[in-house]
Structure 1
């Protein structure tokens, strides 16, 4: 089954890749790897999922935000490569969670992104990961996810 077919089965329509909000590029291909810059959590209507985990947002909302970031990571991969045929493996995700000082469920939030990669790519979607709590993120978003992807 192709990645496009898996996305369709999962009910995921990829959005247009988001434009950078500062002075960087969304993806860099180097040394057989595609480095995807941090992606923000967009809702279907184009608005951002903002807030702090452990404050106004709960774990379930954080998982949804991480999944939305992962959808945008996929959109950036497709935008950079044209399709998913060259993806050999999702190597690593970095998940940054806007959270209160006493919030410790960053790994559970990060699962929203990790599980989507596994659902889409199967075993080649299993990856190394960091799940880090931070005091703030750009534009006040709840989660940001970056990725390293091995290419064929």
Structure 2
């Protein structure tokens, strides 16, 4: 079961969850199916602006990409909280992250970029934040974002 102090962990990390972003197309940001909470891909928004735009290996550094992935995870947690009526207490564990990194064909550090999200998940949810994942390079992402990440959680029913 998720530590009851996830909100405390966020506060200790200096993170205030933003309001969950509204969809930018014809989809829903989150779906609960039985004991699963599926979060649609989240972009690296901070204070309403994208943290990093462009391609890793070209205009975006590894450090900027990692920070963008961290903000994707912040927005994933915000979506989870909204889907669970304001409480993270129903989360049992993070099962999987799917990470997409806009990058040049010769950029191969996608796993290090997505570590920005994985590291934050473990910092907030402790052992329940350890997860399976993919880290895929893509030619482009919506709004020219450098990173997009989707998530799958197990929740108490």
TM-score (norm 2): 0.94
Q: Which of these residues, 64, 70, 91, is aligned with residue 95 of structure 2?
A: 91
Question: Counterpart of 1:47?
Answer: 49
Q: Which of these residues, 67, 81, 84, is aligned with residue 78 of structure 1?
A: 81
Shift in Å, 1:43: 2.4
Residues of 1 paired with 2:60 and 2:73: CA distance? 19
In angstroms, what is the RMSD of aligned CA positions?
0.8
Question: Counterpart of 1:29?
Answer: 32
Number of residue pairs matched? 151
Pair 1:148 & 2:152 matched:
yes
Provide structure 2 residue ranges, at least 5 long, that are not aligned to the other structure: none
Pair 1:68 & 2:98 matched:
no
After superposition, the C-alpha distances for 1:1-22 in whole angstroms (9 at most, x for unaligned) are: 5111111011100000000010
Residues of 2 paired with 1:58 and 1:47: CA distance? 18
Shift in Å, 1:28: 0.3
Provide structure 1 residue ranges, at least 5 long, that are not aligned to the other structure: none
Question: Counterpart of 2:128?
Answer: 124
After superposition, the C-alpha distances for 1:21-45 in whole angstroms (9 at most, x for unaligned) are: 100000000020000000000123x
TM-score (norm 1): 0.97
SS in structure 2 of the partner of residue 144 of structure 1: strand
SS in structure 2 of the partner of residue 24 of structure 1: coil
